[in-house]
């Protein structure tokens, strides 16, 4: 049995009826971003189309509002943090609590040369690897919500 598309090929209108029926841009559901929040909603989500005149962006469901710092930037701030008493130098390592600094997540960009003993809520895989490669350690704190 022939597939429908094979039968249609070679005909003038390809199964669209009269030649006048599929002429203008209206046949494709409008011009520009018409129907971005109606009949072309999925199309607009895939392309990240902004809505209306106020240009408010579609919601990004993967966005995180965590305060983040790169490992390299954290190492540059160490001298200042030790001076302020927010980090401690014990033996051959530096102890630092990221929660006290208001940092929720530590990312892996930058170089690590000093041995860090770090306490944080979240840390990226590359940041953890860089810290452990130098001989440091990472302790994750899990926030527990009380169901009262």
Encode pLDDT of 96-106 as tens digits.
Answer: 888 888 888 99
Contact 117, 93 (CB under 8 A): yes
Return mean pLDDT, the chain: 82
Rg (CA), the chain: 29
Encode pLDDT of 61-108 as tens digits.
Answer: 666 677 888 998 888 888 888 888 888 888 888 898 888 888 889 998
Instruction: Copy the structure tokens of residue 91.
Output: 């033996």
CATH 3.40.50.300, applies to 68-140: no
- For residues 101 and 107, give the distance between their C-alpha atoms in angstroms, rounded to a whole number: 15
Domain positions in the chain = 13-62, 68-140
For 24-43, what is the mean pLDDT?
83
pTM for this entry: 0.53
Confidence tier at 59 by pLDDT (50, 70, 90):
low
Q: In what order do the strands lie in the sheet with 93-97?
A: 87-90, 93-97, 116-120, 137-140
Would you give the DSSP letter of residue 122?
E
């Amino acid at each position: 049995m022939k597939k429908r598309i094979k039968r249609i090929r070679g005909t003038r209108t390809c199964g669209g009826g009269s030649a006048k029926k599929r002429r203008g841009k209206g046949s494709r559901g409008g011009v520009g971003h018409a129907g971005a929040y109606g009949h072309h909603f999925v199309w607009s989500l895939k392309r990240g189309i902004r809505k209306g005149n106020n240009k408010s962006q579609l919601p990004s469901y993967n966005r995180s509002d965590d305060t983040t710092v790169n490992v390299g930037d954290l190492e540059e701030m160490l001298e200042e943090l030790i001076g302020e008493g927010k980090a401690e130098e014990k033996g051959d390592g530096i102890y630092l609590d990221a929660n006290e600094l208001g940092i929720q997540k530590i990312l892996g960009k930058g170089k690590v040369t000093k041995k860090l003993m770090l306490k944080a809520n979240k840390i990226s895989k590359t940041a953890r690897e860089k810290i452990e490669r130098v001989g440091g350690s990472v302790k994750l704190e899990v926030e527990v919500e009380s169901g009262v």
